Structure 1
C-alpha cells in the first residue's frame, strides 16, 4: 500500500470518526438527532452556527439517512451506492482538513 493510499484511507476514517463524534455529542446535549433541518430554522445566529457543524457532521448524517431510507423505503441499490460515495468523499475532505489543522497547530508531526 502506497503512503498516499494510506493517508487517504486515514483521512476517510478520521472524517467519519469526527462526524460520528459530533453527531453523538449533539444528540446527547439536544436530546434529538442532528439533521439538515437545522438549516431551516430561519435567519438566526443558531442557523449560522449550524453551518460549520453540518460541514463536519454531514457524512454521518448522510449515511444514517441513507441506511434508514434503505430499510424503511426500500431505496434502490444505485441510490445507496451514490450516497455512500458522496459521504465517503465528504468524509475524506473533512478528515483531510482536520488533519491539516492539527499539523498546522503542531499537534501532529
Structure 2
C-alpha cells in the first residue's frame, strides 16, 4: 500500500472516530441523539454554535440515519450506498483537516 493511500485511510478512520466521539459525547451530555435538527432553531447563538459541531459529527449522523432507515424503512440499496459514499468522503475531509490541525499545532510529527 502506498504512503498516500495509507495516509488517506488513516484520515478516513480518524474522521469517523472523531465524528463518533463528538456525537456520542453530545448524546451523553444532553440525553438525546445529535441530528441536523440542531440547525432548525432559527437565528440564535445556539444554532451558530451547532454548525462547527455538525461539520465534524455529520459522518456519524449520516451513517446512523442511513442504517436505521435501511432497517426500518427498507430503503433501497442505491440510496444506502450513496449515503455511505457521502459520509465516507465527508469523513475523509474532516479527518484530513483534523490531522492537518494537529500537525500545525506541533502535536503530530
Length-normalised TM-score, structure 2: 0.99
Q: Distance in 2 between matches of 1:51 and 1:86?
A: 18
* 5+ residue gaps, structure 1: none
Corresponding position of 2:30: 30
Cα drift, residue 42 of structure 1: 1.1
Q: Given the alignment of the two structures, is residue 59 of structure 1 paired with residue 59 of structure 2, yes or no?
A: yes
Q: Distance in 2 between matches of 1:76 and 1:44?
A: 37
Q: Distance in 1 between matches of 2:73 and 2:6?
A: 36
Length-normalised TM-score, structure 1: 0.99
User: Could you list the runs of 4 or more consecutive aligned residues of structure 1 that deviate by over 4 angstroms after TM superposition?
Assistant: none
Corresponding position of 2:83: 83
Q: Distance in 1 between matches of 2:88 and 2:13?
A: 9
Q: Distance in 2 between matches of 1:34 and 1:41?
A: 14
Corresponding position of 2:42: 42
Corresponding position of 2:2: 2
The one-character-per-residue Cα deviations of 1:9-68 (angstroms, maximum 9, x if unpaired) are: 000000000000000000000100000000001110000000000000000000000000
* 5+ residue gaps, structure 2: none
Q: How many pairs align?
A: 109
Considering only aligned residues, what root-mean-square deviation do their CA atoms show, in Å?
0.3
Q: Distance in 2 between matches of 1:48 and 1:30?
A: 18
Q: Distance in 1 between matches of 2:23 and 2:41?
A: 18
Q: Distance in 2 between matches of 1:46 and 1:30?
A: 14
